[in-house]
Structure 1
């Protein structure tokens, strides 16, 4: 791919992401797995509510989207989610744990919400209590 085409694609993706955050409050950022780790999906935008971002590993993308969007909707409605919470969702129950390594995993969220010299954005790890079901 040409460098200019690549830059245009990145600009278009950034514009889409910012528009999605503006319209819905957050966007989802899927990341493919590789030899170093499993696939995962995380939110970008919950920091704008003063809330930690959310990250979910090794779950089918459609199921991860449902879980993270349902949790994001709770945040948008004013429900603060915290480490130690167990949340019942339509796809199954999840536990929330502190996720201290957001700088190493939530690149887009840190790019948008982390000011120079500040600590990484706060994040919560979403852990299924049981098998999550597609909705």
Structure 2
């Protein structure tokens, strides 16, 4: 019997909020505790990381490295923040994004800039 498997990088899965998609090193408070700096979502850090990996697999987001993982996570984060339920987070997001090194290359991106300017 032939078996197949998919190898998926764990990159950023421990730093990404499963609720809103915000990526930040500071989201992982301790080895066991995850709390999103943007939306306040709290969960056991390992459960949080596992949910992100499951979500990637379900969406067929095969990630092979940090650069690709970051690009995909930021795209998902931008899409999430355009949803009605996340519009209330834009003023807080504006401050966090300008301080977050993961987003520095994307702040010049016109879509991200339009979203920030449009919802703040």
TM tier relative to shorter chain: 0.3 to 0.5
How does the TM-score come out when normalised to structure 2? 0.34
What TM-score comes out, normalization by structure 1 length?
0.31
Structure showing the higher helix proportion among its residues? 2
